[in-house]
């Protein structure tokens, strides 16, 4: 296993969680995985972030919504009104109750993961700048690009293009390649499928709008959900 950036106490918590949370089967369609890469994946609620945090064997950080990082109240509001109510479709009373009990533990876990906060406004430039510095240190990012505003779907409906904007901007500033790995977690058989690496040259040579390219990644992820395993 690659060296972890996580604090010792959080690594201990992860070791305990591994006793209870089964590792996914990995269907990796590459000879090896590069460091300093961008990994994109479907979210499947809390399942995939937890599985990747426990079992992805290289230094990385997640992109995640800023509400989960700024305060106890902001995190509670997000869990109650967005995650449990809008995305998990719990009744409001149940969503509020779940948020109340989950908030302290989720906060501890997000702090342990050292989440990179993302924004829907001009502050996203801070996310891009920090992420570029992180990639330049040859460390990887995990990004969940799916539009989950109305919940999580097995058949993905839309991918946001922020990961492609980051890759192009990083190459423009550094002239360095950043590999992109498209992944899909199949809950039915606990399998993480990792597609063949996507080269920055493929991205630079594609003159379409990056939202159209993101749609191709989404469509390919849906194919990964159904194709036979290697």
The pLDDT, as a whole number, for residue 230 is: 61
The pLDDT, as a whole number, for residue 7 is: 86
CA gap 52, 18 in Å, rounded: 11
- What is the chain written as a DSSP string? -PPP-S-HHHHHHHHHHTTTSPPPEEEE-SSS--SS-EEE---TTTHHHHHHHHH--S-EEEEEETHHHH-HHHHHHHIIIIIIIIIS---HHHHHHHHHHHHHHHHHHHHHHT-EEE-SSTTHHHHHHHHHHHHHTT-EEEE--B--TT---SS---B-SHHHHHHHHHHHHH-----EEEEEEEGGGTEEEEPPPBPHHHHHH--S-HHHHHHHHHHHHHHHTTSPP-
The pLDDT, as a whole number, for residue 227 is: 85
pLDDT < 70 positions in the chain:
1-4, 230
The upper half-sphere exposure of residue 39, i.e. CA atoms within 13 Å in the direction of its Cβ, equals 29
The pLDDT, as a whole number, for residue 31 is: 94
Phi, psi (deg, nearest 5) at residue 178? -125, 115
The pLDDT, as a whole number, for residue 4 is: 63
The pLDDT, as a whole number, for residue 24 is: 96
Domain ranges across the chain: 20-66+119-224, 73-113
The pLDDT, as a whole number, for residue 82 is: 95
User: Which residue, among 38, 53, 63, has the nearest Cα to 140 in the 3D structure?
Assistant: 38
The pLDDT, as a whole number, for residue 1 is: 38
Phi, psi (deg, nearest 5) at residue 6? -70, 150
Both structure tokens of 71: 């305060």
Do you know the residue count of the chain? 230
Question: How many other C-beta atoms are found inside a 10 Å radius of the C-beta of residue 88?
Answer: 16
């Amino acid at each position: 296993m690659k060296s972890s950036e996580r604090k010792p106490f959080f690594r201990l918590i992860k070791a305990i969680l591994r006793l209870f949370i089964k590792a996914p089967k990995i269907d990796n369609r590459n000879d090896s995985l590069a460091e300093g890469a961008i990994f994109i994946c479907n979210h499947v609620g809390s399942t995939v972030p937890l599985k990747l945090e426990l079992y992805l064997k290289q230094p990385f950080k997640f992109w995640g919504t800023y509400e989960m990082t700024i305060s106890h109240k902001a995190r509670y509001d997000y869990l109650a009104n967005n995650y449990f109510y809008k995305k998990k479709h719990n009744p409001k009373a149940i969503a509020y109750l779940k948020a109340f009990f989950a908030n302290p533990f989720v906060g501890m876990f997000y702090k342990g993961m050292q989440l990179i906060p993302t924004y829907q406004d001009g502050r996203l430039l801070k996310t891009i700048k920090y992420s570029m510095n992180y990639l330049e240190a040859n460390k990887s990012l995990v990004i969940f690009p799916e539009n989950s505003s109305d919940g999580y779907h097995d058949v993905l409906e839309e991918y946001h293009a922020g990961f492609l904007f980051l890759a192009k901007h990083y190459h423009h500033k550094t002239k360095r390649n950043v590999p992109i790995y498209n992944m899909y977690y199949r809950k039915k058989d606990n399998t993480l499928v990792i597609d063949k690496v996507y080269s920055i040259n493929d991205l630079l040579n594609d003159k379409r709008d990056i939202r159209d390219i993101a749609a191709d990644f989404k469509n390919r992820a849906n194919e990964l959900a159904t194709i036979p395993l290697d």
